[in-house]
A and B are shown apart, each in its own frame.
Chain A
């Protein structure tokens, strides 16, 4: 088993499948009255959050607590970070306190990679800048597999602000590892120009060969929809946009927003996903978000199971 989960590229097909299978067992345990398991008793998991988060932080906290780990929540606000403490000094503090795993969210891409060289415990990337968010990709893959029964050969459209989306990047890497084919859809300004280079994994995978990612690109949502099994809508990340990427919010949602008329173009079995938080009315209309095809609430529940699986597989065995 791997030690850190910094990138979806850390996972080969066998490991990713093991995580999804483990998540399925964890999900079965979530239905019972006593949800707590003694598995990680005495282990400490630190949630190190330099960026705001609702579901990821709560999800990791719930997952660690269900496995009986001790959880320490750290958020940059109200800590010595506001006094100017560096990531390294914070990491050394955590190290001195004996953290077995550090779950980090940071606005700087690559922060988890640096952190992994400073601490002895496992590092789990909970979102770093515009780079990656591997546990989100795992819970998305889990949701697709449990709804549609398979991942191999699945056609997935990832729609919207691909440029700023760590969710899109991790999903492309993981889904192509697991045999799904991904189409990236959005305005040309929000799709990286050299998409092949942009999706090259930061490090070669084990075995030394760079992983192949075979994502296609389209600028026309309507033409793509009839062929898709899954449509994943991305949030337009205005907080990361320093330039204007599209003329107006109204024009964006007219061309790339998912409304009822567009949803009807999807095949009967297709599902609609969104990593949250949603801008209702912008990339997705409330009717679509609340429809029976939407897996948005399911994704949150699956997030806890997927993160329990990751924590168990990284921390459960011999260090």
Chain B
């Protein structure tokens, strides 16, 4: 372990191979909890939720040969903190061909923190269709929820201090697979 009093501590939470195993496990859990992922749609929340959703679909296909539709749902225009920051560029919203009406939608994101992104995603979902149910899969749950929201599938629970930040890197967006915890003074 690194020295607990270093100025800027950087801890590797998940290495590349850890991350692959975690994605595999979530894929298995989705298959188990949804009895074979029938009538299920994976919607990634940009930026890093989208490649994660694609990976989950690819793993589900590898395990059971089932093609789960994948899409993306940008939530920028539904955020409640737009006025607190400079304007954000929009991400892509692409629903799979069959739409989401009457399906089980699994929202996929990299980090679950305050829960505000998920709230915004639920609002956005409301405007694009009526899924039969909505579940949430996240790679990392770092706690500090500000809303009554929980994830159905969690890759790793990481207890964090508010001053720390969790950095998820994925090959598709950042060139390597890794989850890091930075900052804080603990």
Binding site for B on A (CB under 8 A): 1, 18, 21-22, 25-26, 28-29, 32, 34, 36-39, 67, 312-313, 316-319
Cross-chain contact of A38 among B74, B78, B84, B92 (Cβ < 8 A): B78
B82 pairs with A316, CB closer than 8 A: yes
Do A22 and B85 contact each other (CB < 8 Å), given the known contacts A32-B128, A36-B127, A39-B77? no
Q: Which of B79-93 contact A (CB under 8 A)?
A: 82-93
Beyond A28-B93, A34-B127, 12 extra complex contacts between A and B, CB < 8 Å: A1-B87, A22-B89, A25-B92, A25-B93, A34-B128, A37-B77, A37-B127, A38-B123, A316-B83, A317-B82, A318-B83, A318-B84
Cross-chain contact of A317 among B85, B90, B123, B128 (Cβ < 8 A): B85
Q: How far is the CB of A252 from chain B (nearest CB, A)?
A: 44
Q: How far is the CB of A315 from chain B (nearest CB, A)?
A: 9
* A-contact 0/1 string along B122-166, CB 8 Å cutoff: 010001100000000000000000000000000000000000000
A312 pairs with B77, CB closer than 8 A: yes
Q: How far is the CB of A120 from chain B (nearest CB, A)?
A: 15
List B contacts of A316 (CB < 8 A): 82-83, 87-88
Closest 3 CB pairs of A and B: A317-B87, A25-B90, A34-B127
List B contacts of A1 (CB < 8 A): 86-87
How many angstroms from the CA of A34 to the CA of B101 in the assembled complex? 14
List B contacts of A38 (CB < 8 A): 77-78, 123
Q: Which of B18-40 contact A (CB under 8 A)?
A: none
A39 pairs with B128, CB closer than 8 A: no
Q: How far is the CB of A161 from chain B (nearest CB, A)?
A: 36
How many angstroms from the CA of A319 to the CA of B127 in the assembled complex? 27
20 A-B residue pairs with Cβ-Cβ distance under 8 Å, sorted by A, are A1-B86, A18-B89, A22-B90, A25-B74, A25-B93, A26-B90, A28-B93, A32-B128, A37-B77, A37-B127, A38-B78, A39-B77, A312-B77, A316-B87, A316-B88, A317-B85, A317-B87, A318-B83, A318-B86, A319-B83
A313 pairs with B127, CB closer than 8 A: no
Identity of the chain A residue whose Cβ is nearest the Cβ of B128 in the assembled complex: A32
List B contacts of A312 (CB < 8 A): 77, 87
List B contacts of A26 (CB < 8 A): 90
List A contacts of B90 (CB < 8 A): 21-22, 25-26
Q: How far is the CB of B47 from chain A (nearest CB, A)?
A: 14
Cross-chain contact of A39 among B82, B85, B91 (Cβ < 8 A): B82
How many angstroms from the CA of A139 to the CA of B78 in the assembled complex? 24
CB contacts between A and B, total, < 8 Å: 50
Chain B interface extent, by class: 10 to 19
Do A39 and B127 contact each other (CB < 8 Å), given the known contacts A312-B87, A318-B86, A319-B83? no
Q: How far is the CB of B123 from chain A (nearest CB, A)?
A: 7
Q: How far is the CB of A93 from chain B (nearest CB, A)?
A: 25
How many angstroms from the CA of A39 to the CA of B87 in the assembled complex? 11
B86 pairs with A317, CB closer than 8 A: yes
List B contacts of A319 (CB < 8 A): 83
List A contacts of B77 (CB < 8 A): 29, 37-39, 67, 312
Identity of the chain A residue whose Cβ is nearest the Cβ of B79 in the assembled complex: A39
Identity of the chain B residue whose Cβ is nearest the Cβ of A67 in the assembled complex: B77
Identity of the chain A residue whose Cβ is nearest the Cβ of B89 in the assembled complex: A18
Looking at B77, B83, B89, the one whose CB has the most chain A CB atoms below 10 A away is: B77
Identity of the chain B residue whose Cβ is nearest the Cβ of A22 in the assembled complex: B90
Q: How far is the CB of A314 from chain B (nearest CB, A)?
A: 8
How many angstroms from the CA of A25 to the CA of B92 in the assembled complex? 7
Identity of the chain B residue whose Cβ is nearest the Cβ of A36 in the assembled complex: B127
List A contacts of B93 (CB < 8 A): 25, 28-29
A32 pairs with B127, CB closer than 8 A: yes
How many angstroms from the CA of A316 to the CA of B128 in the assembled complex? 21
Q: Which of B101-133 contact A (CB under 8 A)?
A: 123, 127-128
How many angstroms from the CA of A21 to the CA of B92 in the assembled complex? 10
How many angstroms from the CA of A22 to the CA of B74 in the assembled complex? 12
B127 pairs with A317, CB closer than 8 A: no
Identity of the chain A residue whose Cβ is nearest the Cβ of B86 in the assembled complex: A317
List A contacts of B84 (CB < 8 A): 318
List A contacts of B74 (CB < 8 A): 25
How many angstroms from the CA of A25 to the CA of B93 in the assembled complex? 8
List A contacts of B86 (CB < 8 A): 1, 317-318
List A contacts of B89 (CB < 8 A): 18, 21-22
Q: How far is the CB of A100 from chain B (nearest CB, A)?
A: 11
How many angstroms from the CA of A1 to the CA of B87 in the assembled complex? 7
How many angstroms from the CA of A106 to the CA of B83 in the assembled complex? 30
B87 pairs with A313, CB closer than 8 A: yes
How many angstroms from the CA of A21 to the CA of B76 in the assembled complex? 14
